[in-house]
Amino acid sequence: MNLFTERLALRQYVEGLKKEGETIGFVPTMGALHEGHLQLVRRAVSENDVCIVSVFVNPTQFNDKGDLERYPRNIKADAALLEQAGCAAAFAPSPEEMYSAEEMNRTFEFDFGGLDTVMEGKYRPGHFNGVVQVVSKLFSLVTPDRAYFGEKDFQQLAIIRRMVRLMGFGVEIVGCPIVREESGLALSSRNALLTPEQKKLAVNISAVLKESTQFALETSVRELHDAVIAAINRHDGLQVEYFSIVDGDTLQEINRWDESDYVVGCITVYCGKIRLIDNIRYK
């Protein structure tokens, strides 16, 4: 597997692939890879001639410097996993390689059409500006035919789809189902920061969401919302930051089940100091 740290070397590699008429599948990651990432990689490998993966902890999408510093990093382990999964090339640049000093200190502007004012955007101001900034840069470098994103980051996926439309990237965005541990806990790089006791505790997030689907449409949206939050907060060590029941396309909250045919419940929960996200489809 090729490992690139400089944009020029990656670009030359990509140009060689294009000359040969090879199709490129791309998986952008922030490293600390787990089975969820690897499923994206294996799918990209199976559906394209070549799979390229970026491993870059993007500083411009962190509004909490402590969270940025805590984010797990292990490029050696990541590279080994990628090679086993059939990845042809990994791109692991430094922040200085990706951004000029001006870019690092200036908020990237983008027309989100309201997708950034709710959920993650509300609680992490500037986060999605950084996401669009880095993904648009990566798309310009890799020029993939298909790019693969996990549905765990539900709001991010919706924003990336809008970015592709508005910026005119010729890439197919492939959303892939959430990968869960046997316990039901959604796989996340942040899970590596949980203690064994916290990991057991965090299982309650997915358990409560799954249980809520059994009575969702028989109760009001508000009652379901409040019941899910109460059931999770009942566990000492878990604290819900938000739970939003939204239209899956607009990401705007609904008040009645008949307002949309595509309804998703999106949640963020603190397990100690570790921030975990998950979602579940109701309709």
Residues with catalytic function: 37
Q: Is 34 annotated in some ligand binding site? A: yes
Q: Is 133 annotated in some ligand binding site? A: no
Q: Is 40 annotated in some ligand binding site? A: no
Q: Is 237 annotated in some ligand binding site? A: no
Strand, coil or helix: what is 13?
helix
Among 98, 269, 136, residue whose Cα is nearest residue 194: 269
Q: Is 76 annotated in some ligand binding site? A: no
Q: Is 61 annotated in some ligand binding site? A: yes
Q: Is 37 annotated in some ligand binding site? A: yes
Q: Is 187 annotated in some ligand binding site? A: yes
**Which residues, in sequence order, are bridge partners of residue 3?**
90
Does residue 128 contact residue 116 with C-beta atoms inside 8 Å?
yes
Q: Is 235 annotated in some ligand binding site? A: no
Q: Is 190 annotated in some ligand binding site? A: yes
Q: Is 150 annotated in some ligand binding site? A: yes
Characterize the bridge pairing of strands 274-281 and 263-271: antiparallel
The two three-digit tokens of residue 180, written as one number = 């869960």
Q: What angle do CA 254, 260, 265 make, to 5 degrees?
A: 55
Among 167, 202, 162, residue whose Cα is nearest residue 186: 202
The b-or-e profile of 133-156 (16+ CB within 10 A means b, else e) is: bbbbbbbebbbbbbbbbbbbbbbb
Q: Is 30 annotated in some ligand binding site? A: yes
Residues 6+ apart with CB under 8 A from 200: none
Question: Which strands sit side by side in the sheet containing 2-4, from one edge to the other?
Answer: 2-4, 89-91, 50-55, 24-29, 146-150, 172-176
Q: Where are the alpha helices (DSSP H) in 54-118?
A: 65-70, 75-84, 95-98, 101-105
Q: Is 265 annotated in some ligand binding site? A: no
End-to-end CA distance of the chain: give it in Å, rounded: 42
Q: What is the DSSP letter of 253?
A: B
Q: Is 31 annotated in some ligand binding site? A: yes
Does residue 252 contact residue 219 with C-beta atoms inside 8 Å?
no
Task: Return binding residues.
Answer: 30-37, 61, 150-153, 156, 179, 187-190
Task: Return binding residues for ATP.
Answer: 30-37, 150-153, 179, 187-190
Task: Return binding residues for (R)-pantoate.
Answer: 61, 156
